Structure 1
Amino acid sequence: MVGRRSRRRLLQSLGGTALTATLAGCTNLGGNDHADFHRPTTGDRVPELDAIDDAMQSFMVENEVPGGTLGVAKDGTVVFERGYGHSDPLQTAPVRPDATFRIASITKSFTAAVVRSLVDDGELAMDDRPFQILDLAVPESESRTEGLDDITVSHLLEHEGGWDYYQSGFMPTFEQFAIANALDLDRPATSRDIVRYMLARPLQFEPGEKSVYSNFGYLVLSVLVERATGQSFPEAVRSICFDGDVSNRLYEGSTLPADRPEREVAYHSNGHCPNAMTLEEYDTVPCADGGYPIESVGGAGELVTNTRTLLSFSDDYTTRGEPRGDADPGLTAFGSIPGAHSMLHQRGDGVDVAVLFNARGRTTGAYDDIKSTLNDAIGNVDDWP
């Protein structure tokens, strides 16, 4: 375990602050009133960081982002936390600085950190064969794919397991209907169901031959984590990365709005999708609220948390899940699923940035420019608080 003292210091910094709501354009913020934002802005203004604040608000206006949060840490201490826009579908409630959001593929950073910690503790090994350890039954009347037992933990961490969506055209984390039909399910597939289904699906390349980004590989890792720890995947993340003390700030996402805690924002969908929760293809629902069962994707993208927790994690681990060193290069992780876009940016100069939005834009990477936008603003900061 690494950095527990620094993690506690970070979590306690600014404790109890940054929750005062103001209305941009209605309240004078010390000469920086952001009059054209016209959306709620919560949290304490930090005058030294007005350039960052302005950049975030301008980006959200220009890109029509309904709601978001921004957290910034300097040398392991949170120095900025604000909420922007609205957290509810009717756009009446402001986003709090501590609101929780889906973090999508940033979940993979937590997955990697947990797996690497288990390897360090001797509970797993990089050359372990996950499909041998899990020992799941191949679907009835199907044959087990050759090469599965050659896949190692290391292969999965490095996206070298053998699956290539660009070649196969099939991404199992988004194929609820096909998987439910193949396994004769009357409910959404779980992570283990998806792994079982893939036992009989061909690989597109020999494990270790190359690296191709794989959501499924990280889903497998989270199922392996549950087997190794005896805990659910979110419980294992909380236990290993945070000493178990962030249950209200890091948890498994819920597909349906009624199942989400009050602190979590509402998500904005670009359109409607077949209802994957009822498996009724002709019943369409907002994609973020039923078209994508987030509970089933495990370590590929199921976690929900807030910017402070991301910054706490970032103080101890890189976005690759490795222990954070004094001379780590700049690393960035993005996440994007229906209704959410996220970024954790480790600049390598002592400044870490976490951004969470409750929409994804019209394409998967539509909001990725937030990185350069905030980097430019950070470059204009002369004095840090």
Structure 2
Amino acid sequence: MRIRPMQRNSPGQALITLAVYAVAAALTSLAEARTWTEAASGRKIEAEMVSSDDKSVTIAVRTGQRFTLPLDRLTAEDQAFVRQNKSSLPQPIGAPPAEKEARAKADRFEAINMSGADAIPSTGTVNQDLAPVDEAIKKFMAEKGIGALTFAITKEGKVLHNFAYGWSDAKLKIPLPIGTKMRIASLTKPVVSAAIHTLVTDGKLKMEDHVFTVLELDKLKEAKGCDERWKKITIQQLLEHKGGWDRDKSGDLTSRGDMIEAMFRIKTEETEPMHVVRYGLTLPLDFEPGERSAYSNYGYILLARVIEKLSQQTLVDYLQTTVAGKSKAHSFSLSASDARDRQPGEVWYCYHPEYPQKQVPLDFHVEARDGAGALACTAADYCRFLEHYWISGEVRDQRRLAYTFDGSLPGVTAICAQRLDGVCYAAIANRRDKVQSEWNEELRSAINAALARTSLK
């Protein structure tokens, strides 16, 4: 996932597939327009070539909208046309220089400047035995330039450690209080899985049920002519990331905000989960459902729709009456893209800094990715969840199992663990390094090494 400027012409994200929906009514008289074709689907769009580089081409339709398309998504004929005409084209036209400069500065993911680990405030009840953990976390924050991090440890239902490190504001003036909620990115998925298992236990759903049937997707116009393999996808396969989508092959379709907005003629902040679902119906699967496993955010957005349809509640409301209620972890809520729309008590996120004006600072709407990574909660409440459910989503029993899970989004580094000794922990930070998620393992290693120097080793 990437943060991009307002112009939204990212070569890595924009796909020709759905541009046709947004502009079909305006494609009758483009001067010097030609037909562009997506190789995989055969879908076409009429547009004029504006500019190009070695990997992409920018085109404009009659309405003035521009789309930047990856060359490898186009037919060989289109790619040849771009190469032949590249030298005669003007340079890409973007936002005005002043605006581009301001947005670029805001999008840099700058590290927080701090004088060192000792300068980072912390809030919580001091447990001297766990002092090595506090030291390790502060050192990690200082090295990475992280402004806020929450961490909790539980064992046998008891909270042993609950700390907040850093600041509750981007100006680094106010210490972060314990009980601060933070977006947990993909740590959302175990919670969604637990909700699905609850529906199965209650007899409202079977693992072998087909999501196409449960959600009555055949009623959607986008389902007409969709990949026939869609009808084979089961709930179990969605849980296990075996639905048929491979983001390494075709990219993460839940991050294609540009094309989803173009398809439905909506703004980023108007995007809802069903827009993402409907968009996915227009694309071919990457492999036969059940054939193999490939991590899929899209599958968990579908699972959230299953939860809402069968419970007749919103995702968060259902969680509060079931999974969160049983765990006594009531801080779970749906995070919002814009800071002004968040519930009180949720942290700021370091795209550094968050934009001071009201706008969606990401290239996707967080709320539209609810089941895949939009929940927020306190670190202690996530540990309470881990005390009652395995990360697989099943209700915990007397077995001794070890699980770990990670989450990563712009502005979020999140990890959790269920250890063989019965210890559970969760750490959530408000920054990650650009588009990478290597910090997850670094943070985990630092915490594990510190715990090995305590009585919890």
Q: TM-score range by the shorter chain?
A: 0.7 to 0.9
Give the Cα–Cα distance (whole angstroms) in 1 for the partners of residues 432 and 156 of structure 2: 30
Answer yes or no: is 1:43 the counterpart of 2:124.
yes
Give the Cα–Cα distance (whole angstroms) in 2 for the partners of residues 332 and 345 of structure 1: 4
Runs (5+) with no aligned partner, structure 2: 1-114
2:306 corresponding residue in structure 1: 224
Give the Cα–Cα distance (whole angstroms) in 1 for the partners of residues 151 and 316 of structure 2: 23
Secondary structure in 2 matching 1:345: strand
The correspondence for 2:441, drawn from 355, 368, 380, is: 368
What's the RMSD between the two structures over aligned residues?
2.5
Give the Cα–Cα distance (whole angstroms) in 2 for the partners of residues 256 and 104 of structure 1: 16
The correspondence for 1:322, drawn from 383, 394, 405, is: 394
Residue 118 of structure 2 aligns with an amino acid whose one-letter code is: F
1:308 corresponding residue in structure 2: 380
The correspondence for 1:155, drawn from 237, 241, 246, is: 237
Distance 1:52 1:150, change over 3 A: same
2:24 corresponding residue in structure 1: none
1:382 corresponding residue in structure 2: 455
Give the Cα–Cα distance (whole angstroms) in 1 for the partners of residues 425 and 328 of structure 2: 20
Give the Cα–Cα distance (whole angstroms) in 1 for the partners of residues 179 and 454 of structure 2: 24
Answer yes or no: is 1:356 the counterpart of 2:428.
yes
The alpha-carbon deviation at position 296 of structure 1 amounts to 0.2
Secondary structure in 2 matching 1:155: helix
Secondary structure in 2 matching 1:211: coil
Give the Cα–Cα distance (whole angstroms) in 1 for the partners of residues 456 and 354 of structure 2: 46
1:172 corresponding residue in structure 2: 253
Q: Deviations over 1:329-363 (max 9, x none)?
A: 21111111111111111112111111010112232
1:264 corresponding residue in structure 2: 346
Aligned partners of 1:183 and 1:197 also within 8 Å? no
The alpha-carbon deviation at position 244 of structure 1 amounts to 7.8
Runs (5+) with no aligned partner, structure 1: 1-33, 279-284
Q: Deviations over 1:103-153 (max 9, x none)?
A: 000000001000011111111000111111212344469622211110000
Give the TM-score normalised by structure 1. 0.82
Q: Deviations over 1:150-195 (max 9, x none)?
A: 00000100000001111113x2221122012123335532111111
Distance 1:182 1:59, change over 3 A: same
Residue 312 of structure 1 aligns with an amino acid whose one-letter code is: R
Distance 1:248 1:263, change over 3 A: farther
Give the Cα–Cα distance (whole angstroms) in 2 for the partners of residues 383 and 203 of structure 1: 46
Residue 296 of structure 2 aligns with an amino acid whose one-letter code is: S
Q: Which has the higher helix share?
A: 2
Give the TM-score normalised by structure 2. 0.70
2:280 corresponding residue in structure 1: 198
2:410 corresponding residue in structure 1: 338
Give the Cα–Cα distance (whole angstroms) in 2 for the partners of residues 355 and 383 of structure 1: 17
1:107-126 matches, within 5 Å, as 107-126=188-207
Secondary structure in 2 matching 1:37: helix
Secondary structure in 2 matching 1:117: helix
1:19 corresponding residue in structure 2: none
Give the Cα–Cα distance (whole angstroms) in 2 for the partners of residues 76 and 124 of structure 1: 29
Distance 1:182 1:236, change over 3 A: same
1:54 corresponding residue in structure 2: 135
Give the Cα–Cα distance (whole angstroms) in 2 for the partners of residues 286 and 243 of structure 1: 32
The alpha-carbon deviation at position 37 of structure 1 amounts to 2.0
Aligned partners of 1:172 and 1:216 also within 8 Å? yes
Aligned partners of 1:76 and 1:350 also within 8 Å? no
Aligned partners of 2:256 and 2:364 also within 8 Å? no
Larger radius of gyration: 2
Q: Deviations over 1:192-218 (max 9, x none)?
A: 111112112100100000000000001
Aligned partners of 2:122 and 2:165 also within 8 Å? yes
Residue 410 of structure 2 aligns with an amino acid whose one-letter code is: P
Give the Cα–Cα distance (whole angstroms) in 2 for the partners of residues 247 and 55 of structure 1: 27
Give the Cα–Cα distance (whole angstroms) in 2 for the partners of residues 286 and 74 of structure 1: 38
Give the Cα–Cα distance (whole angstroms) in 2 for the partners of residues 383 and 208 of structure 1: 40
Secondary structure in 1 matching 2:118: coil
The alpha-carbon deviation at position 368 of structure 1 amounts to 2.4
The correspondence for 1:85, drawn from 152, 163, 166, is: 166
The alpha-carbon deviation at position 246 of structure 1 amounts to 6.5
Give the Cα–Cα distance (whole angstroms) in 2 for the partners of residues 148 and 82 of structure 1: 45
Aligned partners of 2:222 and 2:281 also within 8 Å? no
Percent of aligned positions that are identical: 31
Aligned partners of 2:351 and 2:411 also within 8 Å? yes
Q: 1 or 2 for the larger relative contact order (CA 8 Å, sep ≥6)?
A: 1
Secondary structure in 1 matching 2:192: helix
Residue 293 of structure 1 aligns with an amino acid whose one-letter code is: H
Q: Deviations over 1:1-49 (max 9, x none)?
A: xxxxxxxxxxxxxxxxxxxxxxxxxxxxxxxxx9842021111110111
Aligned partners of 2:136 and 2:450 also within 8 Å? yes
Aligned partners of 1:270 and 1:361 also within 8 Å? no
